[in-house]
Amino acid sequence: MITISIDNTSPVPPFEQLRGQVAEIIRSGRFQPGARLPTVRQLAGDLGIAPNTVARAYKALEVEKLVQARGRHGTRVVDSSDLPKTRRADLLAEAAKRYVSEARRLGADIDEALEAARRAT
Amino acid sequence: MGDWIQAAVFTLFVLALVWAGTRPVSPSELSRFAGRFSLSVDTMDFGLVSARLRRSRKLRSVAVAVGFTVGALPVYVNLIDRESASSFSNFFTSQAWLIGAAFGAMMAELLVVQRPTRQGKAALIARRPGDYVATGWFKLVAFLTLVAVAATMTAAVSRNPLWGRSLAGAAGAVIAVALIWLGLRTITDRPLLALDGPLRDTDEALRAYGAHHLVGAGIALTGGATSIALSPLTDPVPLVEWITLFCWLGSLGLWRAIAFDLPWRAGHPMMVPP
């Protein structure tokens, strides 16, 4: 079961905590493309936060092209294969930048980083 | 004298209905609930279940009693003013007890106030009406509503003098759809009491209980409304008379089966342990 939690004592706003956790879950592949996210009211009730906070997090995830709101069919995880090629390339470049900066922070050179990426597939 | 006896019988029936709905929940009712929704009697929260079953039953029976009283208005008005009694006898008042049943089941869910026991933690799983009641019943409600609307249109186009009766039937079916939709949305959006353990199972079973009562009463209302919508068409097509009767009796039988008898294993497949 995939769970998320909101820490009310954290300096990070609840909306950002929620957005970050859902984004991480989607990027890790634990949510299948096309999977449906809980409704705004359901998640807000379960977490004990305002519906506006959840709606704002979902909106941010939509801007990141991780989810798509489909009216009465709810909010679903975007199937990346449906994205236009240019948009997919942009998202891949952004993810690569994040990975490279993390590798640099750990002191790894480019060959080590590429090797780690190959091993991860 | 006969009018007074009729009114007294109606009144006694309504009072008996309210009494039956407000009596305490018996241990046998609780064990039947546990068996029906696959709950373990050893771990079930008896206080929670007992309070919710009683409250839900009370609201449903009071709503049916009010609907039944509305339906019996011609009898009561007849005691004071014989002239105007017939104006209270129409197809809306005759459906009132079924509207009451569906409305009561919806209110029983709408008035539940529930806060999660753990703060700031949730399962990222979309709850759907199909987690609590078989989706086939929704298709039946949609089909019956379409039949009612089609019957109204046929009656209107063919300038049937009783087309207003069809319209009242179609309106009843649409009311049923609205009540089912609102009630099920309330059930799925309500916060989970716990993420796992017996309390979650009890919570899920109570949702399934509410959903079954709501959909059962909704089907009875839709079936009754559809048979009213079809009734003006029985003149040109004699077969429709039998379809109307089948629709009416069948929906009442389904109400009984869905609301009180059908077993259900509540909970989202992703949350049920293998």
In chain B, which residues have their Cβ closer than 8 Å to the Cβ of A53? Answer: none
Which one of A17, A30, A42, A75 would you mutate to disrupt binding with B, by most B Cβ within 10 Å of its Cβ?
Answer: A42
Instruction: Please give the structure tokens belonging to residue B95.
Output: 């459906």
Residue from A27, A37, A46 to probe the interface with B (highest B Cβ count within 10 Å): A46
Mean pLDDT of A87-96: 78
Q: How many domains is chain A built from?
A: 2
Residue A113 in this model has a pLDDT that exceeds 80:
yes
The CA distance from A10 to the nearest CA of chain B, in Å, is 12
How many other CB atoms are found less than 10 A from the CB of residue A36? 16
Percent of chain B predicted with pLDDT > 90: 60
Q: Which two tokens stand for residue A13?
A: 């706003």
In a domain, A8, yes or no: no
What is the Cα–Cα distance from B209 to B266, expressed in whole angstroms?
Answer: 9
Distance of alpha carbon A15 from alpha carbon A50, whole angstroms: 10
B173-198 pLDDT, tens digit per residue, is: 999 999 999 999 999 999 988 888 88
Q: How far apart are CA A25 and CA A33, in angstroms?
A: 12
Residues A72 and A99 both lie in one domain: no
**Domain ranges, residue A94:** 83-120
Say yes or no: A47 and A95 in one domain. no
pLDDT tens profile B122-139: 988 899 999 999 999 999
A38 → closest Cβ in B121, B125, B190: B125
Q: Given this model, what pLDDT does residue B102 score?
A: 93
CB–CB of A92/A117 below 8 Å?
no
* Residue B57: count of CB within 10 angstroms of its CB: 19
Q: Read off the pLDDT band of B146 (50, 70, 90).
A: very high
pLDDT at B106 over 90: yes
Q: Do B195 and A1 touch (CB under 8 A)?
A: yes
Compute the distance between CA of residue B205 and CA of residue A88 in angstroms, rounded to an integer: 44
Q: Which of A25, A36, A47 sits opposite B122 (nearest CB)?
A: A47
Indicate whether A29 belongs to any domain.
yes
Model-level pTM? 0.84
**Percent of the residues in chain B that have a pLDDT greater than 70, as a whole number:** 95
Distance (Å, whole) CA B148 – CA B218: 14
Q: Round to whole Å and give the CA distance between B240 and B103.
A: 29
Among B145, B148, B146, B140, smallest CA distance to B230 is for B148
Asked if the C-beta of B35 comes within 8 angstroms of chain A's C-beta atoms, the answer is no
Which residue from B88, B59, B61 is spatially nearest to B72, judged by alpha carbons? Answer: B88
At B272 the pLDDT is 45
Task: Find residue A6's DSSP bridge partners.
Answer: none
Residues A63, A24 within the same domain: yes
Amino acid B31 reads S
DSSP assignment of B9-35: HHHHHHHHHHHHHHSPPPHHHHHHHHH
Q: Is residue A31 part of a domain?
A: yes
Residue A1 located in a structural domain? no
* Cα distance between residue A70 and residue B120, in whole Å: 27
Same domain, A105 and A92: yes
| Residue B48 pLDDT class (50, 70, 90 cuts) | very high
pLDDT of res. B187: 95
Cα separation, A7 vs B129, in Å, equals 30
CA B225/CA A43 separation, integer angstroms: 36
Establish if A116 belongs to a structural domain: yes
Q: What is the pLDDT of residues A62-73, one digit of tens each?
A: 988 889 888 777
A21/A47 same-domain check: yes
Region of B40 (left: φ > 0; alpha: ψ -120 to 50; beta: rest) is: beta
**B120, B126, B191 ranked by CB distance to A36: nearest:** B126
Same domain? For A64 and A19 the reply is yes
- DSSP H helical ranges for B190-269: 197-230, 239-256
Measure CB to CB from residue A39 to each of B123, B126, B195 and give the nearest one. B126
Please list, in sequence order, all residues whose beta carbon lies within 8 angstroms of the beta carbon of residue B31, skipping any fewer than 6 positions away.
Answer: B41
Same domain assignment for residues A23 and A72:
yes
Q: Does B116 touch chain A (CB under 8 A)?
A: yes
pLDDT of residue B117: 64
- Write out the two tokens for A6: 């909101």
| C-beta of residue B174 within 8 angstroms of C-beta of residue B100 | no
Residue A39 belongs to domain with CATH number: 1.10.10.10
Q: What is the pLDDT of residue B177?
A: 96
Contact B120 A7 (CB under 8 A): yes
Write out chain A residues lying below 8 Å of B125, CB-based.
1-2, 38
Mean pLDDT of B147-151: 94
Cβ-Cβ contacts under 8 Å for B110 (sequence gap 6 or more): B182, B183, B186
Instruction: State residue B163's pLDDT score.
Output: 87
Give the model's pLDDT for residue B62: 96
Dump pLDDT digits (tens) for A10-66.
Answer: 899 999 999 999 998 888 878 888 889 999 999 999 998 999 999 999 999 998 888
**Same domain (yes/no): A91, A37:** no
Alpha helices, DSSP H, located in B72-125? 73-80, 82-85, 91-110
A50 touches chain B (CB under 8 A): no
Rg (CA), chain B: 21
pLDDT at position B269 is 52
Distance, in Å, from the CA atom of A99 to the CA atom of B52, rounded to the nearest integer, reads: 52
Of A3, A25, A46, the CB nearest to B116: A46
Q: Does residue A5 lie within any of the structural domains?
A: no
- Asked if A68 reaches chain B (Cβ–Cβ under 8 Å), the answer is no
- How many helices (H) and strands (E) are present in chain B, helices listed first? 10, 1
Residue A6 lies in a domain: no
- Residues A50 and A105 both lie in one domain: no
Within 8 A of A2 by CB-CB distance, chain B residues are 123-125
Q: For B128, name the nearest residue in chain A, comparing CA atoms only.
A: A38
Of the candidates B176, B141, B172, B169, the one whose C-alpha atom is nearest the C-alpha of residue B155 is B169
Handedness of CA B250, B255, B260, B264 (dihedral sign): positive
B81-104 confidence digits (pLDDT tens): 877 777 777 777 888 999 999 999
Q: Is residue A98 over pLDDT 80?
A: yes
| CA distance, residue A42 to nearest chain B CA (Å) | 4
Q: Tell whether A23 and A75 lie within a shared domain.
A: yes
Does residue A70 sit in the same domain as residue A91? no
* A3 within domain boundaries: no
pLDDT bin (cut points 50, 70, 90) of residue B274 is: very low
pLDDT in tens, B215-273: 999 999 999 999 999 988 877 677 778 888 888 899 999 999 999 999 988 765 555 44
Q: Does A22 touch chain B (CB under 8 A)?
A: yes
- Say which residue, B199 or A71, is predicted with more confidence: B199
**pLDDT-derived band of residue B26, with 50, 70 and 90 as boundaries?**
very high
Q: What are the distances in angstroms from CA A89 to CA A25, A59, A85, A95?
A: 21, 22, 6, 10
How far does B205 lie from chain A, in Å, by closest CA? 17
What pLDDT is recorded for position B44? 86
**Is residue A91 pLDDT above 80, yes or no?**
no
Please check whether residues A18 and A74 belong to one and the same domain.
yes
Q: Which residue from A67, A84, A85 is spatially nearest to A76, judged by alpha carbons?
A: A67
